[in-house]
Amino acid sequence: MKYLTEYRDGAVGRGLISRIRKAASRPWVLMEVCGGQTHTIVRQGLIELLDGAVEMIHGPGCPVCVTPLEQIDKALRLAADPGVIFTSFGDMLRVPGSECDLLQVRARGGQVRVVYSPLDALELAIRTPDKQVVFFAVGFETTAPANAMAVWRARQLGVRNFTILVSHVTVPPAMTAILSAPDNRVQAFLAAGHVCTVMGWTEYEPIAHRYKVPIIVTGFEPLDLLEGMYLAVRQLEAGRYEVENQYARAVRREGTVPARDLVARVFRLVDRKWRGIGEIPQSGLGLREEYADFDAEYRFGLGAVQVSEPAECRAGDVLRGRLKPYQCPAFGCRCTPEHPLGAPMVSSEGACAAYYNYGRFRQTPAEVSGG
C-alpha cells in the first residue's frame, strides 16, 4: 500500500537508529503515549536495536486497558439483559470484569455483537426496533468523532432504541497527571499521531512549556517512531521543549475541525476514572444533557456498582511506566492472553500483550542484578 510500506524501510530505519545513538549523550527517557505505537516498538525490536540510547516507557494510551472496571461491570449487566443487544468493538469482549467478561455473558445467552463502527450498531437498532441496542462507546479522541456521529445521527433519524454506554478518555490530562507525579521519569513524549489528526496539537503547547518537555506528534510506522525519537533526542540535547510534528502527512495544527466540532456539540468534559490509575479530573467525555436520551446509564438507570479487581494484577504500575510487563510476577504464567488477569494482557494495544506476543521479556543485566 502506498505511503505505508515506505515507512517500514529497513535500510532507512538502520540509518535513523545510528543517528539516534550518535545524538544521545545519555539514555533519555521517552514515553510513547499510544498502545498502537507500543506494539510497533516492541514488535520491531526497536528497543533492542537502540541499545540503551533511549529508554522507552510505555504510556497509558490503550483504551481497552484504562476503561474502568465499573464501566465493564455495567456493560456486563446490560449485555445480560434479554431486551438488549449489546454491541462493542471486538477488543472489549475479553476484558475481565469483576466476575466474568462479555464473551462469557454471550456464552450464557446474552446478545453481544461485535461491530466495526458505531454506525453499524445504529443500523442494527434501525433494523431491530423491538430491541434496545446499546453501543459500548470507549476510546480516546480517535473514536470520539465516530461515537458523536452515531448519537447525532440517531437523533436526526429519530431512532429511539439506540443508546451508548460512554467511557471516553482524553490524552492531555493523562500526560499532565504523569508529569505531575512526584516519581515521574518521562523527559519527552511521542504524542499519539492519530489523536492529533482529530485534535491537532494546540492542547500540547502549554504542557510542553509548563513541564519543559519536548512533545513530538508521531505516527505509527517504524520509521515514524524512529524519527519521533530522533526529534525528541535532538530537542533534549539542545535543551529545547517544543511541540514538533513528525506526522505531517496526516496531522495539521488545528486537527480535523468538523470532527472536533461535533465531538464538542455532543460531549462535554467530565471527571473520569482510569483503570489501574484512578480518577483524573476532566479527563473524560460524557454526553451533554441534550443527548441524555441516548445515554445508556440514564435510560437503564444504572447506579453505582461494587467492583473487585484481582489483587495480583499490577496493570496500574505497568500503565504508569513503573513496571515493565515482564517484571510482574504473574506475567506469562498466571496471566496470559488466553487467561488474562488484567486488560493490558488482552488488548491488541496493551503493553503486556505486546511483550507476551512478541517474546520481548529478556531482562537486561542491570535489571537482573538491581531487581
Residue 256 as a binder of another protein (CB under 8 A): the answer is yes
Q: What is the DSSP letter of 136?
A: E
- Residues within window 70-99 making contact with another protein, judged by CB under 8 A: 89-91
Paired sense of beta strands 278-287 and 267-274, if any: antiparallel
Report, in Å, the least distance between residue 306 CB and another protein.
Answer: 28
Among 349, 351, 354, 356, binds another protein (CB under 8 A): 349
What would the x/- binding string for another protein be over residues 18 to 57, using CB under 8 A?
xx--------------xxx---------------------
Residue 153 as a binder of another protein (CB under 8 A): the answer is yes
Report, in Å, the least distance between residue 237 CB and another protein.
Answer: 16
Residue 137's nearest CA partner among 127, 145, 147, 128 is: 147
Among 70, 73, 203, 227, binds another protein (CB under 8 A): 227
Among 46, 64, 175, 296, binds another protein (CB under 8 A): 64
Measured from the CB atom, is 157 or 181 closer to another protein? Answer: 157
Distance separating alpha carbons of residues 142 and 222, to the nearest angstrom: 20
Residue 274 as a binder of another protein (CB under 8 A): the answer is no
Residue 249 as a binder of another protein (CB under 8 A): the answer is yes
Report, in Å, the least distance between residue 87 CB and another protein.
Answer: 12
| Long-range contact pairs involving 181-185 (C-beta distance under 8 Å, separation at least 24) | 181/320, 183/322, 185/29, 185/57, 185/321
DSSP one-letter string for 141-196: TTTHHHHHHHHHHHHHHT--SEEEEEEEE-HHHHHHHHHHSTT----EEEEEHHHH
Task: Mention every residue, 6+ apart, whose C-beta is less than 8 A from residue 87.
Answer: 112, 113, 114, 115, 120, 121, 124, 133, 134, 135, 136
Residue 158 as a binder of another protein (CB under 8 A): the answer is no
Sole residue written with cell 503515549 = 33
Sole residue written with cell 496526516 = 250
Distance separating alpha carbons of residues 83 and 77, to the nearest angstrom: 12
Amino acid residing at 328: C
Residue 140 as a binder of another protein (CB under 8 A): the answer is yes
Among 169, 259, 302, 313, binds another protein (CB under 8 A): 259
Measured from the CB atom, is 24 or 328 closer to another protein? Answer: 24
Residue 6 as a binder of another protein (CB under 8 A): the answer is yes
Interface residues with another protein (CB under 8 A) are 1-4, 6-7, 9, 11-16, 18-19, 34-36, 61-64, 89-91, 116-120, 138-140, 142-143, 145-146, 149, 153, 156-157, 194, 197-198, 220, 223, 227, 246, 248-252, 256, 258-259, 262, 348-349
